[in-house]
Amino acid sequence: MAIYLDCNATTPVEPAIVDEVVRFLTDEYGNSGSRTHEFGNRAKHAVERARRQLGEAVKSKPEEVIFTSGATESNNLAILGLASYGRQNNKRHIVSTQIEHKAVLEPLGFLESNGFEITLVRPRSDGFVDPEEVRSSVRDDTLLISVMQVNNETGVRQPIDVLAELLADHPAFFHVDAAQGFGKETTSLQNERIDFISISGHKIYAPKGIGALVARRRGYSRVPLQPLMYGGGQERGLRAGTLPVHLIVGLGMASELAFCDHETRASANLRFRQDLLIGLLPLDPIFNGDPELMLPTTVNISFPGIDSEALMVALKNDIAISNGSACTSQSYEPSHVLSAMGIDPQISRGAIRISWCHLSESPDWIAIANKIKSLL
């Protein structure tokens, strides 16, 4: 059976989290909105505990945590939810980057078709976005700056800390899509200058279908978001619908474990990376993105002369990998991320992404390398 190495698409669920999620499905199944009995009260307390766990991870108040279905919904709420405020205050300019996930780029495209102006900053050839270039794109009428924490295809970390400092003197809102970095890179999201943080549970060993948007207050003022759907008033009126208590409990526990176990996990991931590099470096792969800037859980590499589809087929019984974002894996079009980096189309067509975690088993990299060599 192939070893799963596509953790940037989704991670396995941590065993301890499985147990807790199942408990809230089978025993503690109350509705957190039911206040007339103990089943509802226990569910409510569980949700509030998860809210604290997630808030503590990014040094935010529990009431600033809004539970959503995942980072895609969180991104949409942060971007589209500001549109009304932007129109009312004549701030219709947004700055982002060309390497954002489609869950950011497509909402931005929707706003552009409805009268907003969007500036997308191009990355360097190593996958890094220059924070000075982002800052120089900001204008007096800029409503929002949205820059991801870690790129999902290359694993390259972006300069969130530096950008937060550069934006200290500007009133525009700052949004970070942290789907790939939350719980893996532990400090940059704690910067109070970040107004919005999008989080996905299934990228940090929690179940699919749960995420959060951290919406920090500025002083005593709530951020001027408008909900995307109505009907119930849950989550401070910003996200209607009965809360999935079992999933929220899983996300809360995942958030706490990610920070408590950070050093142990990081060590395991670095060992895995070292084994991978020892096995594959003799083949002279091309790294798409600066390896020094990548999280220790991802590599994006190409082997000149080998198409990524052919490579994945050849290795399908050994390792489960991808050639880009899971959200666009049905498409054989070149990666918009690698294209923005200026990667040669021939190299881009051969790019594969290998992504792992502390739960990953290390394959026989020598055998993998021999199979790759046979395709050259």
Residues with catalytic roles: 327
355 in Cβ contact with 7 (< 8 Å): yes
Q: What is the DSSP string of 85-115?
A: HHHHTT--EEEEETTS-HHHHHHHHHHHTTT
Alpha carbons 134 and 322: distance in angstroms, whole number: 30
Alpha carbons 239 and 213: distance in angstroms, whole number: 10
Alpha carbons 329 and 352: distance in angstroms, whole number: 12
Six-digit token pair at 117? Answer: 């102006």
Helices (H), 131-207: 131-136, 160-166
Q: Which of 267, 211, 266, 280 is nearest to 244 (CA)?
A: 211
Alpha carbons 39 and 373: distance in angstroms, whole number: 59
What ranges make up the beta strands (E) of the chain?
A: 3-4, 65-68, 93-97, 117-121, 142-146, 173-177, 196-200, 211-215, 286-287, 298-302, 319-320, 351-355
183 in Cβ contact with 255 (< 8 Å): yes
